[in-house]
Amino acid sequence: MTTQRLEKPPFGIGRFSSGWVSLIIFLLVLTGLGIYSYAQQLTHGEVVTGLRNIGTMAGVSWGLYVVIYVYFMGLSFAGITLAVLIRLFNLEPLKPIARIAQVMTVVTIIIGAFGVIADVGQPGRALVNLLRYARPGSPFFGTFTLVITGYLFASLVYLFLDGRRDAATMAQTPSRLQGFCQKWATGYKDTPAERARHHRATFWLAIAIIPLLITATSTLGMIFGLQVSRPGWFSALQAPGFVVMASLSGVGMIIIIAALLRGSEQIRERIGMQTFKWLGNLLMVLTAIYIYFMVVEWLSSFYSAHDDEARLAEALIRGDYAVLFWTTVALLVVPFALLVFQYVRSSYNLPLIVLSGLMVNLAAIGKRYLIVVPSQTHGTLLPYATGSYSPTLVEYGVVIGLFALGVTLYALFIKAFPILPLSDTIASDEPETIRASSAQRTWVTVIIVIAGFAIQAVSYFLLATPLGLPDSPVYSNPRVPFAPLIFILGVMIVFLAAVVYELMPDKEKA
């Protein structure tokens, strides 16, 4: 059997039009603006931002940076969640957008991490101390170990394994990217045994990723929901609300990206209206769920809330944040109505679906702002004066730079690797000399997984547990320095087992 090859890279890979180059230059200029703005913040301190101490300076300690961080983490959640659900349930109409979602996850996690760094006054010291002294009982510990590190590594592993077959195809296609694709393929030959291995590895990896996603995103919500001193935050709805809003904004962003990519004729042939119909219906359901959450929140705030909760609700409904609040509501209700109208008529319009995706993303940013800021200016239980917060040009510059960097990374990936899965173009002419499965491979993988969980357990419960009594001067220190880093390594080892399972060679038949 002869190995098939593509005559040229698909989807415009490796080819750079003048329009694409101009776009990248423009994005790099905006990214440079973000770097300059952040340099001003590092030089002069956070006094150049609108961030101030709560109460004593009538301001907020969390502002636009935290809003953007939560927003990007939401996009990442939806991307990888949709990708693994497509894999687990074999959702044929959505398969063309699986890699679109995977890449979005990796890019948005990276940008979200930069958002956290921008919010920290001394990022170098903060990152080192996090790895040395982070306390297991803090939701921030889960945020950095699960949301950013574990989340990112698991997504990279899934993207790597899922792309090996296409990388093998690209490695046989003459282009300047052959060497890169050969390294990505890591010797993939597309034999029946390799396909079976890949099928099992990605299935169990998808199973493992789902609880991580739910746990990580819920932990992000619990950072707010567990703070009893903050009316508007202390709520059982924070964790599920974060999960639903993350899914809502992520699906909307995938719709936007997929529609933009349809400018290529090859991609337009692969991503049809059936895909957008599924995404639109999913967006409709998620929007309905979140609107229900908001109604429950309003009823709780007005019907039986304490004075502080009622004061915060008043600021949202009729006070300082009323314009943003009702704009956010409209940006959820209008797309829901548009999507329901299309569903009832069984007639779908791509521009309206894309408009709905754009509107829910704007609503997601607005809602995150309404979660983060008002509870600091109007929601304190202490006798502080009502505060205010207005982002400065420095903050806007950093945020614009982050968005530009994210689009740049995505645009570069599209020119380096197929953003859509390729069709079956590889056929191996090598005889089948390996088994479809191997007991040795399975046992090695199981041992690696057990070792990863054991490292997490030991580092969390033994190494990172504080010493002494609450009034001890070393109470905040872990038993072993860098115990949080050991925990992170344990999380990474668990997901690395999937790579070992797929790449470990089988024994040859006797």
Distances (CA, A) of 150 to 77, 103, 169, 224, 442: 12, 16, 30, 21, 23
pLDDT for the residue 413: 96
pTM of the model: 0.91
pLDDT score recorded for residue 439: 81
What contacts 106, CB < 8 A, 6 or more positions away? 76, 152, 155, 156, 159
pLDDT of residue 426: 43
Q: Give the pLDDT confidence score for residue 260 in this predicted structure.
A: 94
What is the number of residues in the chain? 510
| pLDDT the model gives residue 106 | 95
CA angle 486, 492, 496 (to 5 degrees): 140
CA dist list (Å): 86 to 77, 258, 352: 14, 16, 24
pLDDT score of 425? 44
Q: What is the pLDDT of residue 351?
A: 96
Low-confidence ranges of the chain (pLDDT < 70): 1-5, 56-57, 136-140, 142, 228, 304-305, 379, 423-437, 465-477, 506-510
The single-letter code of the amino acid at 300 is S
User: Can you give 86-125 as a three-state secondary structure string?
Assistant: HHHHCCHHHHHHHHHHHHHHHHHHHHHHHHHHHHCCCHHH
197 burial class (0-12, 13-18, 19+ CB within 10 angstroms)?
Answer: buried
pLDDT of residue 428: 43
**Which of 476, 473, 496 is CA-nearest to residue 484?**
476
Residues 6+ apart with CB under 8 A from 415: 12, 13, 14, 15, 16, 20
Q: Structure tokens of 326? A: 């009702």
* The predicted structure's pLDDT at residue 473: 53
Whose CA is closest to 194, among 509, 505, 507? 505
Q: What is the pLDDT of residue 468?
A: 54
pLDDT, position 43: 92
Convert 172-189 to b/e letters by CB count within 10 Å (16 or more is b).
Answer: bbebebeeebbebbeebe
Amino acid at 461: F
- Indicate the DSSP class of residue 269: H
Neighbouring-strand partners of residue 508: 434
Residue with tokens 């046992």: 443
CB 476 within 8 A of CB 132: no
What DSSP assignment string belongs to 333-373?
HHHHHHHHHHHHHT---HHHHHHHHHHHHHHHHHHHHHHHS
pLDDT of residue 507: 63
- The whole-number pLDDT of residue 405 equals 97
